[in-house]
Structure 1
Amino acid sequence: MSAGAVTDRSAGPLLGSPNRLKLAVFSANMAGGANLTYAPEAPRATWPESVGIARAAEAAGFEALIPVARWRGMADPARRDAHRSFESFSWAAGIAAVTERIQVFATFHIPVVHPVSAAKQIATVDHIAGGRFAVNVVAGWNEDEFRMFGLEQREHDDRYAVADEWMSFLGRIWAAEDEFDFDGRFFKARGVLSEPKPVQRARPVVMNAGFSPAGRDFAAKHADLTFAMVPDAAAAARIVPGLKADVQRRHDRKLMVFAGAHVVCAATEDAARREYERMVDEVGDKDAAANAIRLLIPNSGSADFDAEGMAASAIAGFFALPLVGTPDSVVAQMTELADAGLDGLALSWLDYQAGIDQYARELRPRLVEAGLREG
């Protein structure tokens, strides 16, 4: 791609996808993936594994790869392997270089990345990706990780006030042709100038997973897509259409809404249910689940689910909604979620490579037949 080439993010692999239900692979850069588990078949966070998952997802037609940002895991510190993860900007740059079509995200915590640094990092990876890069911006919620940086966790709504100014500063960096000074409430800078700009103009694709009132406001203002933390299709039907309508009314634009989903698919319903129970009861890390719940509940501002079942949800999918059943049943559940207004799902499995292979073999043809995917 030439130095002056630009692309329109709305025509990219994710926003420009013709598929009614878009699909992403979630958390492939973290040991365990989206699972809190002792299972040996879960991801180990090795580079050959990451490349294999990315290429398999691209070949299977997935629109995107969304890594997590973790500086430490949820398990006991003695379980060193469970804390292993690849830093997502570096991971995304490497994955972008070995793929051709799929949208590649990085996830990062706003409190630990300065806008000037982020502007350069994002532009660099977008050039490597040829305009396929995207960012999942997180206001921050994990106190244990912030302590590693010597930072104190701000109050929930204050975190989004910082994030709002952060995004405004970032956007100005990319828009400016001449150096400028920035004098905000949280950020002050002199002589700011950054080249190159991203390939995507005026900016790359932005995702945000905040679902509290403050998080929704932030996503409505700054993001192209957001995550809905919903336990099932009925909840999605209650929440998603209103969220989209509110964004259209207040900002005169469309916002895609995704949800996380954890797939446990087998030849029979009983076999799928038994596998889910094995994942939770036999190989699940219950101590790590308790730690995740401890961190999430007081800090998310949007977690209002009953405690019962939360440990299982944390272990299998890290609070994603479960898609458990036969291939026909899983596709039926995905259809219900699309009918409820969701634009896409960020999928996880216990064994990612096997799950993507199963998707290509069993689910993809059924999704095409159901009208959710074109191929």
Structure 2
Amino acid sequence: MQFGLYAPVPHVTVGSREIAASVAGGQKPLAADQVDPAFILAKDVLLAAEAAGFDIILFAERHLGADMEAWILGSAVASWTTTIRSMVAVHPGLWHPTLIAKMAASLDRLSTGRMAINLVTGWNVEEHKMFGGDDLPYNDDRYVRAEEFADVLRGMWRETPFSYDGRFYKVDKAQLLLKPATVQPPEIFTASRSERGLDMVAGIADWWFLDYDKGAETTRDVMDSLQKSIDRMREKSAARGRKVRFAFNPFVTFGSSREAAVERAMKLVTPDGSDADTRKLLNRIGPATKAGCVGTPDQVRAQVLAYRDMGVELFLFKFVPSIAEVEAIRDEIIVPLRGKKSREASRPSPSSFETRPFGASQDEGF
């Protein structure tokens, strides 16, 4: 069982004053000798996460916004770490795979083999056009392109010179004279929901970020939906002679009761008590709470174990980023679960599976 977290950047973070300050000041010069507050937060939280026993960081990519560029932020943080892995997102529509092969090999070598790639097939049309990309938003070609992107990455890492003749990428005797740090190349993570996207996952991914049906209202619904997805992907990948591993992204908050945890989460995501932003924040955070990891430490641990027993190997937790929250996850999840070799920890009761999360919404989670 592995544990991860998002690097705190504006488009995946709620409830952070440091992120809010970074966004507000993003179009102004910094004072002399000042570092952007978002980077200070990222460095402090992610170093604390490494010390707490987290295994991997996802550096999400968003160019149209105040987010720092994912590869630069990931590389900067990796230079400070020694054990935690850096998973950096990349959109094929914005990058060429030969260049990413070189960038990934570089990061892998400077971080002693601790990098991975999050291959993103989703799109933001305005962002892609503004930054010179080709979004392919309306058909399945983006999945074909992603498959070719992965083929070129692995080919460049494997041999030089490397040639490739695909629909989207033509590579003629390209040379990559800097290989990844380890014999096993960096792993590729991805996410998709469509039928063609699932075929892509089964064919190229090392890890799949699970999602559940938008109609799921209770944690039991979420679990049933995830189990169907897991079973289906196992069949699809086995038919290709492959095995795909499963990751999941629940929102985590603790309290003395589920109600207290919900109240605490509300305070965390709206630290200034602003009513104007509450609905927007809950629409973003609400779907992520349906996973059932908002409650007492015992309830959350039991829920994590239930997902583990279904086949989830990596929990990429969503939470309001702070050292205190990192340490709480360390004390209440990572240490207790890694400290026990047996599976005798308590399991969720059936009633806990039927609890509707606060702020339930069908909108995308953050």
TM category, shorter? 0.7 to 0.9
Match of 1:257 among 246, 253, 268: 246
**Please, what TM-score do these two structures have when normalized by structure 1?**
0.75
Task: Tell me if the contact between 1:96 and 1:104 (Cα under 8 Å) persists in the aligned partners.
Answer: yes
Question: Shift of the alpha carbon at 1:162?
Answer: 1.1
Aligned length: 317
Q: Which residue of 2 aligns with 1:233?
A: 223
Distance in 1 (CA, whole Å) between partners of 2:204 and 2:276 is 36
Residue 25 of structure 1 aligns to a residue in which SS? strand
Distance in 2 (CA, whole Å) between partners of 1:87 and 1:372 is 42
What does 1:211-222 align with in structure 2 at a 5 Å threshold? 211-222=193-204
Is 1:30–2:22 an aligned residue pair?
A: no
What does 1:115-194 align with in structure 2 at a 5 Å threshold? 115-154=97-136, 155-178=138-161, 180-194=162-176
Q: Which residue of 1 aligns with 2:303?
A: 333
Larger deviation, residues 131-140 vs 268-277: 268-277
Distance in 2 (CA, whole Å) between partners of 1:371 and 1:42 is 39
Change in 2 beyond 3 A, CA 1:182/1:58? same
Change in 2 beyond 3 A, CA 1:344/1:108? same
Question: Shift of the alpha carbon at 1:284?
Answer: 8.0
Question: Shift of the alpha carbon at 1:133?
Answer: 0.8
Change in 2 beyond 3 A, CA 1:115/1:265? same
Task: Tell me if the contact between 2:199 and 2:236 (Cα under 8 Å) persists in the aligned partners.
Answer: no
Match of 1:102 among 74, 84, 106: 84
Question: Shift of the alpha carbon at 1:170?
Answer: 2.2
Q: Which residue of 2 aligns with 1:61?
A: 53
Distance in 2 (CA, whole Å) between partners of 1:175 and 1:146 is 30
Is 1:356–2:356 an aligned residue pair?
A: no
Residue 81 of structure 2 aligns to a residue in which SS? coil
Equivalent AA in structure 2 for residue 107 of structure 1: A
Q: Which residue of 1 aligns with 2:17?
A: 40
- The two structures, once aligned, show a CA RMSD in angstroms of 2.9
Change in 2 beyond 3 A, CA 1:163/1:367? same
Distance in 1 (CA, whole Å) between partners of 2:133 and 2:296 is 46
Task: Tell me if the contact between 1:209 and 1:228 (Cα under 8 Å) persists in the aligned partners.
Answer: yes
Task: Tell me if the contact between 2:10 and 2:67 (Cα under 8 Å) persists in the aligned partners.
Answer: yes
Distance in 1 (CA, whole Å) between partners of 2:40 and 2:342 is 31
Residue 261 of structure 1 aligns to a residue in which SS? coil
Task: Tell me if the contact between 2:190 and 2:205 (Cα under 8 Å) persists in the aligned partners.
Answer: yes
Residue 93 of structure 2 aligns to a residue in which SS? helix
Residue 66 of structure 1 aligns to a residue in which SS? strand
Distance in 1 (CA, whole Å) between partners of 2:103 and 2:149 is 15
Distance in 1 (CA, whole Å) between partners of 2:188 and 2:342 is 24
Equivalent AA in structure 2 for residue 201 of structure 1: V
Change in 2 beyond 3 A, CA 1:258/1:152? same
Question: Shift of the alpha carbon at 1:349?
Answer: 0.9
Question: Shift of the alpha carbon at 1:245?
Answer: 3.5
Distance in 1 (CA, whole Å) between partners of 2:118 and 2:300 is 27
Question: Shift of the alpha carbon at 1:313?
Answer: 4.8
Residue 87 of structure 2 aligns to a residue in which SS? strand
Task: Tell me if the contact between 1:164 and 1:218 (Cα under 8 Å) persists in the aligned partners.
Answer: yes
Does 1 or 2 have the higher relative contact order (CA < 8 Å, sep 6+)? 1
Equivalent AA in structure 1 for residue 211 of structure 2: M
Larger deviation, residues 269-278 vs 201-210: 269-278
Write out per-residue CA displacement over residues 6-39 of structure 1, whole angstroms, 9 at most, x where no aligned residue: xxxxxxxxxxxxxxx311012x24126443x5x5
Distance in 1 (CA, whole Å) between partners of 2:309 and 2:207 is 18
Question: Shift of the alpha carbon at 1:196?
Answer: 0.6
Instruction: Find runs of 4+ consecutive structure 1 residues off by over 6 angstroms.
Output: 317-320
Task: Tell me if the contact between 2:5 and 2:58 (Cα under 8 Å) persists in the aligned partners.
Answer: yes
Question: Shift of the alpha carbon at 1:322?
Answer: 5.3
Question: Shift of the alpha carbon at 1:152?
Answer: 5.0
Residue 250 of structure 2 aligns to a residue in which SS? strand
Is 1:224–2:221 an aligned residue pair?
A: no
Question: Shift of the alpha carbon at 1:106?
Answer: 0.7
Question: Shift of the alpha carbon at 1:320?
Answer: 7.9
Q: Which residue of 2 aligns with 1:323?
A: 293
Residue 111 of structure 1 aligns to a residue in which SS? coil
Distance in 2 (CA, whole Å) between partners of 1:330 and 1:42 is 27
Question: Shift of the alpha carbon at 1:183?
Answer: 3.1
Question: Shift of the alpha carbon at 1:67?
Answer: 1.4
Equivalent AA in structure 2 for residue 56 of structure 1: A
Question: Shift of the alpha carbon at 1:116?
Answer: 1.6
Write out per-residue CA displacement over residues 245-292 of structure 1, whole angstroms, 9 at most, x where no aligned residue: 4312x1223211111111121233221122334567855876995xxx
Show structure 1 runs of 5+ residues with no match: 1-20, 73-82, 290-310
